[in-house]
Amino acid sequence: MTDWTPYAARASEWFQTLRDNICAEFEAIEREAGSSAAFEYTPWKRAAVEGGEGETGGGTRGLIKGKVFEKAGVNISTVSGGLAKDFAETINGASAEQNAFSATGISLVAHMANPHVPAVHMNTRFLTTTKAWFGGGADLNPPLPYDEDTAEFHAELKAACDAHGADYHDRFKAWADEYFYIPHRKVHRGVGGIFYDHLECADEAAWEANFAFTKAVGEAFLAVFPRIVRRRMGMDFTPADKAQQLEWRGRYAEFNLVYDRGTLFGLKTGGNIDAILMSLPPEATWS
């Protein structure tokens, strides 16, 4: 069996580099808007979980609240140990008897001050149980959609996919459309993107290929989202525009609290609650 430890370390290092680059770009946008807002970083350690093992690993919660980014979190984590036995049955390659796991990744959610600027989510991760795999994706969540922004976002992700698998974009776009859906509302969370999981690493060559793709997804996000932010952040908006944004934020919150697998995974594995729930908007409304 392959020892994935050095590979996980490489992935973790990349996720930290991506975090640094994204945060620097977000802070640069704040400066362009005349704001001095900067990320505050809070380290945390993994807590013990019932039926699992004690604290092993942790991460850093990065949070900015500014003029453009009303609330944006960029978190990294590297944790390992034992999954609670009942939860282990739901995880790829794990079971009540074989419940050891490790996970490293980056998770990002940005809620924007101007309703013309779309909210966004992105994460990429590497996990091991008895199997090893990558997962991740990104999706755009505009309260006031613009076809130009949607097309540009999808085009950037498609280019990343096409360079690594002829069928990747069709598969992962369809998966995002299926996953980022709110059944009780019968609406999608936003205008989609890509979502992939269980991109398994049967050997070192597969790991390298999947890692290259995962890096391409992160780089595509870093290339496209700041362009969209800069295009929209100075636009005027009305009280009706703001009301639409707050309503869609409510739907975003509903998805993350009811359906999101990442939220459940974090809570079930002793993650930092504030880091996990940073995805929730600072303000939302329900009719």
Superfamily (CATH H level) for 5-279:
Coproporphyrinogen III oxidase, aerobic (3.40.1500.10)
Say what the pLDDT of residue 56 is: 78
pLDDT at 168: 98
Is 188 one of the catalytic residues? no
Identify the active-site residue in 116, 121, 154, 188. Answer: 121
Q: Tell me the C-alpha distance between 53 and 71, whole Å.
A: 33
Q: Where are the domains of the chain?
A: 5-279
C-alpha closest to that of 266 among 6, 73, 21, 37: 73
| pLDDT per residue as tens digits for the range 179-209 | 999 999 999 999 999 999 999 999 999 999 9
Specify the pLDDT at position 1.
66
What is the per-residue pLDDT for 265? 85
pLDDT for 147: 98
pTM score? 0.93
Helices 147-162 and 204-232 sit at what angle, rounded to 10 degrees? 160
Residue segments in the chain with a per-residue pLDDT below the cut of 50: none
- What are the tens digits of pLDDT across the range 89-115? 888 877 878 888 899 999 999 999 999
Position 272 scores a pLDDT of 85
What pLDDT, on a 0 to 100 scale, did the predictor assign at position 53? 55
